[in-house]
Amino acid sequence: MPRPVPVRGVIEGFYGPPWSHAARLDLVAFVAERAMNAYVYAPKSDPRHRDRWRDAYEPAEAAQLAALAAACADAGVRFGFAISPGLDVDYRDARDRQILVAKLAPLLDGGVDWVVLALDDIANRPGLAVEQAELATWLASTLPAVRLTLVPTEYVGTHPSPYLAELAAGVPATVELMWTGPTVCSPVIDATAAKGWRAAIGDHPLVLWDNYPVNDTVMEAELHLGPYTGRAAGLTDELDGVLCNPMLQPHASKVALATAAEFLRDPAAYEPAAAWARAIDDVGGVRAEALGALARACADGPLVRSEHLVLHRLVADLEREAPTPDWPDGVARVRAELAALRAAGDAFEPDEPLGDEIRPWLDQAAREADAGLAALRLVQQVRPVATRDGSGAGRAVAPDPDAAMLHAFALLFAWMGARHGAPVVAGPRFALHAAIVQLPGGQPALDIDLALREDCSAIDRLCRVALGEYRAWVSEADAGLDVRAGLEVVHLDADGTFSADADTTVLVRCGSRSTLVRASSVLPFRDARFS
């Protein structure tokens, strides 16, 4: 039975605007309620964390860090402070070493006992690992009561390298080493991958810096609202800790973090779909239905490809059904999902923290849904359709060229509006992920297949389906209208009215295009052809 991960929590380690103090306090309380027990302060864009690491924090900033550490202690969450001096530190310089300790002193005096030395995202060079090991060894001996974690310059991969061998040999065995998995944002991390990394770092405790649901740098247009996936239950036996790197949006990050908390405390029982539903209910509250609609359209990213989105699957089904007489069923299913997405933005009031964070994606969702709904209306407009009452009597109409053309223009204009929006909803049109991997010799490389996502929009796919249907109809626009009940042709009056047995499904046809119509059935959209 896979064990819970001993250290499980959050590392605020993204590039971009750091969270507010209030957001951090809120997040600490949230994760504590879900049995997470760690929070590390490591925002890359805090100048005093990285670019100006030598500078002491202003009194107000220091007071907030002290208050955050105290809040963590009260909640049973261990507080870690990260410092990232790698851009310009002289590892062997006595003055830089003393500045580093002096920078940490106020926090240590306040009871902080966990320091993360982050030496990531800098250029590698010969001898770097030895110098870093010397600094880490000195820091561990200078601060013997402190738990020390090191983020190495090489932090991706699954096998040894010269850098890792030198670092592991030089750093005290008690120092934890961090790792992001096979790549920066790893779609899959399993026990085999972790064992490979353990072989590279020797006996050091291993902490996974899990870059999900983070959406910084090239991913800022994405909102990662899907559940925690791709981590095999057996992975937890190989790890001493997991710290999830959240999004720039603290409240929206709670959806993924809540699911991660469930996995990390009971990996064997974890069911992503059920955990996701609970997280959406918890985070969304009275807005859960709206949040769920957006989450279903923003559940893709580095861990999950866009074709697994609910909307993508529905559009794929419609693409198969569109040429058949059963097309209304497929259109109705897609319409229901798009209608929920279109309405999501209206559910959030101004000045709601969660709603304000996700507003760009809610607005884009409305634009995408408008384009998708226009596509569905066009699909209906190029079909012969009929209405019937309970007795079976009805009226059939053929496609109207003028109306169909107007619907085609409406689709094109709505689609243009959707394509101009930057936030990613229902799959990206073009997206990049930092898919750095490890070559056999330990050198870095870019996995192009993981890094590049293009033409993955479910809405683009739907619009192309609809325009394809319009193009096919144009080629036979002069076809006559007829109605059949089984093998028999049903008489049509001049205005298209007809009568058929109520228990019989009729087939309305124009050329190769047809629609099955049952008594009292309802079209996906109101249709002006019956006005």
For 181-202, b/e burial (b = at least 16 CB within 10 A) is: bbbbbbbebbbebbbbbbebbe
> What residues are annotated to the active site?
121
Question: How far, in Å, CA of 328 to CA of 384, rounded?
Answer: 11
DSSP output for 460-471: HHHHHHHHHHHH
DSSP, collapsed to helix, strand or coil, labels residue 184 as coil
Strand 513-517 with 506-510, pairing: antiparallel
Residue in 32, 44, 40 with CA at minimum distance from that of residue 176: 40
Reading the block at residue 146, the tokens are: 């402190």
Confirm if 338 and 332 have CB atoms less than 8 A apart.
no
Q: Return the axis-axis angle of helices 21-33 and 59-75, rounded to nearest 10°.
A: 10
Three-state SS for 474-527 is: HCCCCCCEEEEECCEEECCCCCCEECCCCCCCEEEEECCEEEEECCCCCCCCCC
Reading the block at residue 410, the tokens are: 């409406």
Q: Residue 19 burial by CB count (10 A; 0-12/13-18/19+): exposed, middle or buried?
A: buried
Rounded to 5°, angle at Cα 48 from 43 and 51: 85
Residue in 227, 201, 217 with CA at minimum distance from that of residue 435: 217
The residues facing 38 across adjacent strands are 9, 78
Does the N-terminal peptide bond of residue 227 adopt cis geometry, omega within 30 degrees of 0? no
